[in-house]
Structures are given as C-alpha cells and as structure tokens.
A and B are shown apart, each in its own frame.
Chain A
Amino acid sequence: MLRILAAGAIGLVFGSGIAISGMANPAKVLNFFDIFGTWDPSLAFVMAAALAVTAIGYRFVLKRPRPLLEPKFHVPGNRKLDMPLIAGSAAFGIGWGITGFCPGGAIPALGLGEPSAWIFVGSMLAGIAAARTLRIALEQRAAQNT
C-alpha cells in the first residue's frame, strides 16, 4: 500500500513539473524545435534543471544498497547502441515534431481535459501495443526456429 501511495505522490510531483515547465503545451514544445522560426528556448532550461537535479540525486541514491520500498534497483545494464534504439528514437522524434507531444508531456496533459491530448494518447498507446505485439510474435517465431 505504501508503494502505491508513494508512487502516486511522486506522479503528482512529476505531473506538476511537466505542467509548470510548459512541457505539456504542444505549441511551446514545437516552438522549441523551431530554431529558424518562432524559437522559444524555454525547454532547454527544463531539461537542464531536470538533468542537474537527477544527476546529483542519483549519485546519492544509487550508492545505497537498495531502494527504500523495494528489494533492488531496476537500472538497465545494456550499454550497446543498436538499430532499434536509433531507428525507434528517430521515429519518436519525427512524431514529436509533427504533434508537439511526447509521452511524458501528453499523459499529464490528459488532466487538462483537452481533446487533442486524448486523441494523441489513444493513438500512441495503439502504436506501443502494436509494436509490442509485433516484437513478441517475432521473438516467439525465432524461438520456434531454434
């Protein structure tokens, strides 16, 4: 129960940060990318502050033997660059540039009751589900062939 309550409270802090910073506002995000047009550099400040706090905080947290509410840390160990990472990230960037929504910005935007956020999130979830189904099917086929 404590895990659930803590996660909810941390989600509230995350969502507040997104809303206050302007990351939930597609017009502002698109203007950040429009360097040669109506450029708004605000989001560079969002990233800089978020990164500074996280980098310093992680240094202390990851030195501990385990998290406060769970038996162990779940930190990805893969350090290899591969095609799915780069191609997937390029696709994400194209979609972000078309819409101005990224997952972390769009989920809190749902709370504003804006139809555009709901349309985007519905479509994004369909995209994740389709990609996941495809990967699971491919892995099962590969397993059968060995």
Chain B
Amino acid sequence: MTTDFTPISALGGGALIGLAAVALMAFHGRIAGMTGIMTGLLPPIAADWGWRAAFLLGAIGAPMLMVFAGGQAVGFDSPVPAPWLIVGGLIVGIGVYFGSGCTSGHGVCGIARLSPRSLAATLTFMAAAVATVFVVRHVLGGL
C-alpha cells in the first residue's frame, strides 16, 4: 500500500513538535519524551503526575479537535492485524522502558542537545525498524 509523499505538512507538523519540545523545556524544564511522561503515570505514580496527565490529554485532544472542527482530515490507516498490534505493543513498551526513551525523547529532544546516548538509541531503533519492515514485507511477504 502506498502513501503520498507530503513534505510540506511533514515540515509544518515537525516544526510544531519542535515548538512543543522547546516550550516544555522553557516552562517546565522537562524533556518532551512520550515514554518518560507516560511512565510517571503508571504505578508507582510520580508525585508530579498533574502536568504529565495534562500534556497527555492535550496530545490526545488535538487530533480529536481537528476532526470535530471538521475540514481537517487526519490521515490514519493501520494495516496490521490485532494480534500483531498486541505483540508489537508489548515489545515497544519493554523496549522504550529499558531504552529510556522513544522517537520524541531520544530522536528529537536528545539529539537536539547532542546526547550520545540519544544518538546511539535513535540509530539503533531506526535501523531495527527498517530491518523489521524489510523482513516482514520482503522476506515473510506480510503479516
């Protein structure tokens, strides 16, 4: 299945992600990493759960508002069967916990402040994802 190459919305959306990362550091002094923010909301719940929950609700609310406001369609298509979503979800959860971050925390915030750990993590998960998609699509012939 193909998807359209969309460089303009990619640049615009990426700039907004960067803006949010800068704002969260400027106001709260925090890395805008989804893994770290989320983990503090699981038991044992962090004492500073308030801003974490608010950030998460805002993140969930944004596409909701875009859809309700109409006009702005948010592209979404998940071609993966549910059992693989469960397996993949578990692997992602365990991986980002031990890896101390994901695309937002390591890939954006960490590399932006030249962290060697984040650079190594990002190269590793990008390479692993490319290799996995290659095996799934071109060796196994799909899930």
Contact = CB atoms under 8 A, between A and B. Distances in A.
Given A3-B51, A49-B15, A53-B15, A68 B63 contact: no
Interface in A8-55: 8-28, 30-31, 33-38, 40-55
B90 to A, nearest CB: 4
A112 B64 CA distance: 6
Contacts of A93: 95, 124-129, 131-132
A100 B10 contact: no
Interface residues of B, number: 111
B10 A46 contact: yes
A125 interface: yes
Nearest to A97: B132
Interface string B40-79: 0011000000111011111111111111000000111111
Interface in B93-143: 93-100, 102-104, 106-109, 111-113, 115-117, 120-122, 124-134, 136-138, 143
B11 A97 contact: no
B44 to A, nearest CB: 8
B141 to A, nearest CB: 11
- Chain B binding surface, main DSSP class: helix
B8 to A, nearest CB: 9
Given A22-B75, A103-B92, A74 B1 contact: no
A11 B115 contact: no
B98 to A, nearest CB: 3
Q: With a 10 A CB-CB cut-off, give which of B5, B10, B77, B128 has the most chain A CB atoms.
A: B10
B54 A67 contact: no
Interface in A52-70: 52-55, 57-58, 61-62, 64, 66-70
25 contacts: A7-B52, A14-B20, A16-B62, A16-B63, A19-B13, A20-B9, A21-B10, A22-B3, A31-B3, A35-B130, A57-B25, A87-B98, A89-B120, A91-B91, A91-B98, A92-B128, A94-B128, A95-B90, A97-B132, A103-B35, A116-B82, A120-B86, A123-B89, A125-B93, A127-B92
Interface of B: 1-7, 9-35, 38-39, 42-43, 50-52, 54-67, 74-80, 82, 84-100, 102-104, 106-109, 111-113, 115-117, 120-122, 124-134, 136-138, 143
Given A22-B10, A88-B99, A91-B92, 16 more contacts: A4-B54, A21-B12, A25-B76, A51-B108, A53-B14, A64-B26, A67-B30, A69-B27, A84-B99, A86-B99, A91-B98, A93-B124, A94-B91, A95-B87, A95-B89, A123-B85
